[in-house]
Structure 1
Amino acid sequence: MADANGQLPPENDDAFDTDYDIGQDNIEGSFGPFGFDIHNPVFVVSSLTAVVFILLTLIFADTAGMVFQAVVTFATTQLDWYFMIVVNFFVIFCLVLVVSPYGKIKLGGTEATPEYSYLSWFAMLFAAGIGIGLLFFGVLEPVYHMNVSQPLGTPSPIGPDGQIIPENIAEARAIGLAGTFFHWGLHGWAVYVVMALALGLFTYNKGLPFSIRSAFYPILGERIWGWPGHLIDILAVFSTLFGLATSLGLGAQQANAGLNFVFGLPVNTSTQVIVIIAVTAVALVSVWRGLDGGVKILSEINMIVAVLFFLFVLLAGPTIAGLLGFWDGLVTYVQKIIPLSQPFGRSDDAYRDGWTAFYWAWWISWAPFVGMFIARVSRGRSIREFVICVLLIPSLMIFVWMGVFGGIAIEGMLADPDNSLVKEYVIDNYSPELSLFGMLNELPLTGITSTIAIVLALVFFVTSSDSGSLVVDTITAGGKIDAPKPQRIFWATIEGLIAIVLLIGGGLSALQAGVTATGIPFSVVMVVMCYTIWKALQTEPR
Structure 2
Amino acid sequence: MKGQVYLYDQAQKGLFKGMNPFMTLVSIIMVLGTVFLGVFYADQSAYAVAAFRDWLTPFLEWYYVLLVAFLLFFMIWLGVGRYKNVRLGMEHERPEFTFFSWVTMLFAAGTGVGILFWSVAQPILQFQSNPFMDLVSSDADAAVIAMRLSFFHWGINGWAIFSFVGLALAYFSYRHNLPLTIRSVLYPLFGERVRGRLGDFVDLLAVFGTVFGIATTLGLGVQQLNAGLKAVFGFADSTGLQLSVISVIMFVATLSVASGLSRGVRLLSEMNFWLSIAAVLFILLLGPTQYLIGITIEATGDYIQNLLRMTFHTNVTHGSDWQAEWTVFFWGWWLAWSPFVGIFIAQISRGRTFREYVAGVLLVPTGITIVWIGLFGGTALYQELFTGGGVIEAVDKDIATALFATLAGMQLPDTVTSVVSALLILLLGTYLVTSANAGTLVINTLLSGGDADPPVIHRVLWGVFLAVLTAVLLLAGGLETLQAMVIAAALPFSIVVIGMIIGLLRELRSERFSPRSGERVAPLAEPWVVAEELATEHTEEAEITSESTK
Q: Does the CA-based 8 Å contact 1:36-1:486 persist in structure 2? A: no
Structure 2: how far apart are the matches of 1:75 and 1:252? 30
Which deviates further from its counterpart, 504-513 or 452-461?
504-513
Q: Does the CA-based 8 Å contact 2:156-2:366 persist in structure 1? A: yes
Task: Name the CA shift for 1:82/1:495 in 2 (closer, same or farther; >3 Å).
Answer: farther
Q: What amino acid is aligned across from residue 417 of structure 2 in structure 1?
A: T
Which deviates further from its counterpart, 261-270 or 400-409?
261-270
Q: Could you tell me which of 8, 11, 19 is aligned with 1:29?
A: 11
Q: Does the CA-based 8 Å contact 2:3-2:177 persist in structure 1? A: no
Corresponding residue for residue 247 of structure 1: 217
Structure 2: how far apart are the matches of 1:197 and 1:479? 16
1:346 aligns with 2:321: no
Q: Could you tell me which of 380, 400, 407 is aligned with 1:440?
A: 407
Corresponding residue for residue 108 of structure 1: 89
Which deviates further from its counterpart, 330-339 or 304-313?
330-339
Q: What amino acid is aligned across from residue 132 of structure 2 in structure 1?
A: L
Q: What amino acid is aligned across from residue 65 of structure 1 in structure 2?
A: A
Structure 2: how far apart are the matches of 1:104 and 1:236? 29
Corresponding residue for residue 304 of structure 2: 334
Q: Does the CA-based 8 Å contact 2:7-2:449 persist in structure 1? A: no
Structure 1: how far apart are the matches of 2:23 and 2:291? 51
Corresponding residue for residue 464 of structure 1: 435
| Cα shift at 1:78 | 4.9
Corresponding residue for residue 2 of structure 2: 4
Corresponding residue for residue 402 of structure 1: 373
Corresponding residue for residue 514 of structure 1: 485
Structure 2: how far apart are the matches of 1:458 and 1:311? 19
Task: Name the CA shift for 1:242/1:221 in 2 (closer, same or farther; >3 Å).
Answer: same
| Cα shift at 1:415 | 1.4
| Cα shift at 1:154 | 4.0
Q: What amino acid is aligned across from residue 87 of structure 1 in structure 2?
A: V
| Cα shift at 1:273 | 3.3
Structure 1: how far apart are the matches of 2:147 and 2:91? 42
Count of residue pairs the alignment pairs up: 508
Task: Name the CA shift for 1:265/1:67 in 2 (closer, same or farther; >3 Å).
Answer: farther
Corresponding residue for residue 286 of structure 1: 256
Helix, strand or coil at the partner of 1:41? helix
Structure 1: how far apart are the matches of 2:511 and 2:352? 15
Structure 2 unaligned residues grouped into runs of 5+? 514-550
Identity %: 37
Corresponding residue for residue 19 of structure 2: 38
Corresponding residue for residue 352 of structure 2: 381
Q: Does the CA-based 8 Å contact 1:132-1:460 persist in structure 2? A: yes
Corresponding residue for residue 152 of structure 1: 132
Task: Name the CA shift for 1:154/1:385 in 2 (closer, same or farther; >3 Å).
Answer: farther
Q: Does the CA-based 8 Å contact 1:503-1:510 persist in structure 2? A: no
Structure 2: how far apart are the matches of 1:151 and 1:394? 27
Corresponding residue for residue 421 of structure 1: 390
Q: TM-score, normalised by structure 2?
A: 0.88
Structure 1 unaligned residues grouped into runs of 5+? 7-20, 157-166
Which deviates further from its counterpart, 461-470 or 324-333?
324-333
1:137 aligns with 2:106: no
Task: Name the CA shift for 1:53/1:511 in 2 (closer, same or farther; >3 Å).
Answer: closer
Q: Could you tell me which of 138, 142, 157 is aligned with 1:172?
A: 142
Q: How far does the alpha carbon of each residue in 1:31-69 deviate from its partner, in whole angstroms, 9 at most, with x for none?
A: 332x65231311121122212322332233333333343
| Cα shift at 1:316 | 0.7
| Cα shift at 1:514 | 2.7
| Cα shift at 1:77 | 5.3
Q: What amino acid is aligned across from residue 211 of structure 1 in structure 2?
A: T
1:212 aligns with 2:201: no
Q: Does the CA-based 8 Å contact 2:133-2:142 persist in structure 1? A: no
Task: Name the CA shift for 1:315/1:334 in 2 (closer, same or farther; >3 Å).
Answer: same
Q: How far does the alpha carbon of each residue in 1:334-358 deviate from its partner, in whole angstroms, 9 at most, with x for none?
A: 1221222223533173431111111
Structure 2: how far apart are the matches of 1:407 and 1:286? 34
Q: Does the CA-based 8 Å contact 1:76-1:358 persist in structure 2? A: no
Q: Does the CA-based 8 Å contact 2:61-2:315 persist in structure 1? A: no
Q: RMSD of the TM alignment (CA)?
A: 2.0
| Cα shift at 1:323 | 1.1
Q: Does the CA-based 8 Å contact 1:422-1:435 persist in structure 2? A: yes
Corresponding residue for residue 63 of structure 2: 82
Q: Could you tell me which of 336, 345, 353 is aligned with 1:365?
A: 336
Q: What amino acid is aligned across from residue 485 of structure 2 in structure 1?
A: G
Question: Structure 1 residue runs of 4+, over 6 Å off?
Answer: none
Helix, strand or coil at the partner of 1:79? helix
Task: Name the CA shift for 1:252/1:518 in 2 (closer, same or farther; >3 Å).
Answer: same
| Cα shift at 1:430 | 3.6
Structure 1: how far apart are the matches of 2:465 and 2:491? 22
Q: Does the CA-based 8 Å contact 2:343-2:442 persist in structure 1? A: yes
Corresponding residue for residue 96 of structure 1: 77
Task: Name the CA shift for 1:133/1:5 in 2 (closer, same or farther; >3 Å).
Answer: closer
Q: What amino acid is aligned across from residue 139 of structure 2 in structure 1?
A: I
Task: Name the CA shift for 1:25/1:64 in 2 (closer, same or farther; >3 Å).
Answer: closer
Q: What amino acid is aligned across from residue 421 of structure 1 in structure 2?
A: G
Q: Could you tell me which of 111, 125, 131 is aligned with 2:106?
A: 125
Corresponding residue for residue 308 of structure 1: 278
Q: How far does the alpha carbon of each residue in 1:470-521 deviate from its partner, in whole angstroms, 9 at most, with x for none?
A: 0110000001111111111122223333333444444552242132122111
Q: Does the CA-based 8 Å contact 1:152-1:340 persist in structure 2? A: no
Q: Does the CA-based 8 Å contact 1:243-1:514 persist in structure 2? A: no
Q: What amino acid is aligned across from residue 4 of structure 1 in structure 2?
A: K
| Cα shift at 1:263 | 2.2
Structure 1: how far apart are the matches of 2:42 and 2:241? 18
Q: Could you tell me which of 137, 154, 157 is aligned with 1:184?
A: 154
| Cα shift at 1:25 | 6.2
Q: What amino acid is aligned across from residue 442 of structure 1 in structure 2?
A: G
